[in-house]
Amino acid sequence: MEPPAQPGLDRQLEIYKAGLSGVTPALPIAYAALEQKARESLPPESYDYVAGGAASEDTMRENLAAFQRWRIVPRMLRNVSQRDLTVELLGDRLPAPFLLAPIGVQGIVHSEAEMAVARAASSLEVPIVLSTVSSKPMEQVADAMGTTPAWFQLYTPRDRQLAASLLSRAENAGYRAVVVTLDTHILGWRPRDLQRAFLPFLRGLGLANYFTDPVFRQDLPQPPERDPVAAIMKWTTLFSDLSLTWEDIDELRKMTRLPMILKGILHPEDARLAVKHGMAGVIVSNHGGRQVDGAIAALDALPDVVQAVDGGIPVLFDSGIRGGSDAFKALALGAKAVLLGRPYIWGLAVAGETGVREVLQNFLADFDLAMALSGCDSVRKLDSSLLWSAQPVQTV
Ligand code: FNR
């Protein structure tokens, strides 16, 4: 399947034409209805694991509210008959300025997990970022991606030999970049999961990359297949490392030839440090409001980070992207591309590979129409002159 030339129009026509034979879309189109349908299809603990955030969930709500504070001011009469949605990122040309955010342990929402996501994403040439804590081993997922770029997300394990092993596996499997997530060196306080006493990893879920790793396996008394409990206990001792500093980032960089991107940057000073330490990009993100409750909405952090980086490296964005207009606003505020998070997981929960594909097609269509209707024929021309905010913009 090729990415469509007119994603918005083609998708609308496909749906409306099917309507002539009485067929309506199987997957809910509106985000709230999609989430609701996923909720009905999932065990409650899985739904809450994906839907929930840290503590009062204030930051999770703020992530969405921040988008509402910015409004698009459409331009007219600008010949938008062709839109160029493509973007060049780390040497790859992407059909549209979005990727799939790393979301761990997808096996709790669908048995095919990251394999279904990889098949759906690659069919539309949308890159993925595979989580360290995926339910399927990284080599299998890379195979399913074919020639579509995939990046590997690293949670830096306390054992640096294991970090080196994960990085070299990612390189050998064909991943084209490493995304080091900085905001989760320990899990946030998550009332929904605590209330249900549900942490998937302690049940052996989401540990495929560890259990298949030669360094992880080497000093276990029994292989994980024979004694999963011992393997899980070992994982608990090395997942989190609260001692990480910029020196560790320098060390990690020496372990791989892949370009390195830091995820979880919110403060402009950290963005400057990322440039100084030779990073290939940063991702402005607060992990979907799952880590620091009361943290700044990711969108509110974006303009200052863009300014601090000053065009030196690409700034990507996630946390709160729900539809095409959200992507439009983040790009207009200086993001080079955005990462889609929870929405594709709901698609996976409802209809596996087909569900993910439909979420991506709908998102792309919605974004393409937002571009056309706002008078933009190229993502490169998006800037803050197309936005209006009722509130004065503060800076850190
Ligand atoms: C995440 N996120 C995440 N990030 C990461 O770097 N590695 C990971 O393994 C995970 N796992 C994960 C699981 C679940 C269930 C969620 C919801 C999120 C964070 C993710 O990459 C992204 O930052 C957020 O999903 C963005 O927020 P929204 O747009 O999904 O609300």
Whose structure tokens read 């209809």? 351
Give tens-digit pLDDT for 360-369.
999 999 999 9
Question: Which atom of ligand 1 is found nearest the CA of 181?
Answer: 6
- pLDDT tens sequence across 259-277: 999 999 999 999 999 999 9
Q: What is the position in ligand 1's atom list of the atom closest to the CA of 322?
A: 29
| Separation of CA 17 and ligand 1 centre (Å) | 36
Q: How far is the CA of 27 from the centre of ligand 1 (A)?
A: 22
The rounded Å distance from CA 145 to ligand 1 centre is 20
pLDDT digits (tens, 9 = 90+) for 26-81: 999 999 999 999 999 999 999 999 999 999 999 999 999 999 999 999 999 999 99
Q: What is the mean pLDDT of residues 369-375?
A: 98
Q: Of 82 and 390, which is predicted with more confidence?
A: 82
Share of the chain above pLDDT 90, in %: 96
Positive or negative CA dihedral for 23, 25, 26, 30?
Answer: negative
From 50, 260, 287, give the residue whose CB has the most ligand 1 atoms within 8 Å, as the site to mutate. Answer: 287
Assess whether pLDDT exceeds 70 at residue 2.
Answer: no
Residue at 355: amino acid letter: G
Which residues have a Cβ under 8 Å from the Cβ of 346 and sit 6 or more positions away?
Answer: 34, 35, 37, 38, 50, 355, 359
Per-residue confidence (pLDDT) for residue 393, from 0 to 100? 73
Tens of pLDDT, residues 156-200 = 999 999 999 999 999 999 999 999 999 999 999 999 999 999 999
Mean pLDDT score, 299-318: 98
The Cα 224–Cα 228 span in angstroms is 5
Atom of ligand 1 nearest to the CA of 131: 9
Q: Is residue 206 within 6 Å of ligand 1 at its C-beta? A: no
Q: Cα(250)–Cα(367) distance, rounded to whole angstroms?
A: 37
Atom 25 of ligand 1 has which residue's CA nearest to it? 341
Contact 321 CB / ligand 1 (< 6 Å): yes
Confidence bin at 392 (pLDDT 50/70/90): confident
β-sheet bridge partners, residue 340: 100
- What mean pLDDT, rounded, does the chain reach? 97
Confidence (pLDDT) at 23: 98
125 CB contacts (<8 Å, ≥6 apart)? 3, 94, 95, 148
- Catalytic annotation present for 277: no
What average pLDDT does the segment 349-374 reach? 98
pLDDT greater than 70 at residue 395? yes
Q: How confident is the model at residue 92 (pLDDT cuts 50, 70, 90)?
A: very high
Q: How far is the CA of 284 from the centre of ligand 1 (A)?
A: 12
